[in-house]
Structure 1
Amino acid sequence: MSIHTDLDEVGTTQLPGARSVAFMDSYLDALNLVERLHRLLLDVIKDEFERVGLLEINPVQALLLFNVGDNEVTAGELKSRGYYQGSNVSYNLKKLVEAGYMHHQRSEIDRRSVRVRLTEKGRGVHVLVSRLFRTHAEGLMDRGVLDQKGVEDITASLRRVERYWTEQIRYIY
């Protein structure tokens, strides 16, 4: 679904002044860009995995392995720590355990809780994705696409939007 889909229903005329309309247009463009960048990131990971012949896991699972890294976490912590953004975490965990990328163990204290960590095979994927991201970071700097300040500015802006949205969700409840 495109973010612009229901713009007519919202009606930009509800916003006072041309400045607000311009801001709304820029805001929607930024939202679309964030969405496209995430999909593009998954495509970049997929292409790298195809290049090296790693075809048994998908890019979402690869990002999960990358984000877990050296940590041992519960399935619930994967979402609360921001390691996993999807809605089907249990499916992806099951697939990664079955394929030998993650190890899972029931908690001795709370048998309902499962702790997960990477196996050596999972660490290999973590290293592969780390190298890919390092190569991209170097390329962005070397080609003058972004510098340290640019990345810090983008990150700070996105964190402010994240805080705003989080406050909006809390306000609803």
Structure 2
Amino acid sequence: MNLHALEVIDGTGTATLSSYLETLGLVERMHRLLLDIVKDEFERIGLLDINPIQALLLFNVGANEVTAGELRSRGFYQGSNVSYNLRKLVDLGYMHHERSSVDRRSVRVRLTERGLEIRQMLLKLFDEHSKIISGRELLPVAAMEDANNALRKVERFWTEQIRYIY
């Protein structure tokens, strides 16, 4: 985020606005870095048929069986092109889809064995990262929990803002 944008608002900016813009920038950069971490890991092992967004979708779905619509509402998928990514993951054998016998318009998806392997691979990567962070004392668990709590509050606020608009 460009902190110089503060000057446009009132010529001085505020501490709250400055901190909020920094938080927004950090969240955005961290998401991009997470995608880069997954991409680098896949390149290292030669897995090039899926992208990091698709891999994180597999990771987040895990052992659940959900409808395509539930992917976003449950927070399993953050993007706008869920249909494309689901179709690609099904075509590549990472996900299985099945039409509901009750409502033929509804499609349920779950991971195949191949999809579960990708999830396990990411879980191992994230576990290694958590051990490095802990071992180097980069961020104590209590500090991570505080950060998570703060980000959950921002998430709730944004969710309320979206619901308020509609």
So what's the TM-score if we normalise by structure 2? 0.94
One-letter code aligned to 1:159: R
Task: Output the CA distance in 2 between the equivalents of 1:5 and 1:26.
Answer: 9
- The equivalent residue for 2:9 is 11
Q: 2-side partners of 1:68 and 1:166: how far apart?
A: 21
**Which of 128, 132, 141 matches 1:135?**
128
Instruction: Work out the CA distance in 2 between the residues paired with 1:156 and 1:147.
Output: 14
What is the match of residue 87 of structure 2?
94
Q: May I ask how many residue pairs the two structures share in their alignment?
A: 166
| Structure 1 runs, 4 residues or longer, greater than 3 Å off | none
Structure 2 residue runs of 5 or longer lacking an equivalent are: none
DSSP 3-state at the match of 1:146: coil
Deviations 1:5-54 (A, max 9, x none): 892686044xxxx7x61221121111101000000000000000111111
Q: Name the counterpart of 1:169.
A: 162
Equivalent residues of 1:75, 1:89 under 8 A apart: yes
Q: Distance in 2 between matches of 1:169 and 1:9?
A: 27
Query: What corresponds to 1:115 in structure 2?
Result: 108
Q: 1:149 aligned to 2:147?
A: no
Determine helix, strand or coil for the equivalent of 2:14.
Answer: helix
Q: In structure 2, do the counterparts of structure 1 residues 121 and 168 end up closer, same or farther at CA, with 3 Å as the change threshold?
A: same
Pairwise CA RMSD? 1.8
**Do residues 25 (structure 1) and 18 (structure 2) align?**
yes
Cα distance in 2 for residues equivalent to 1:29 and 1:12:
18
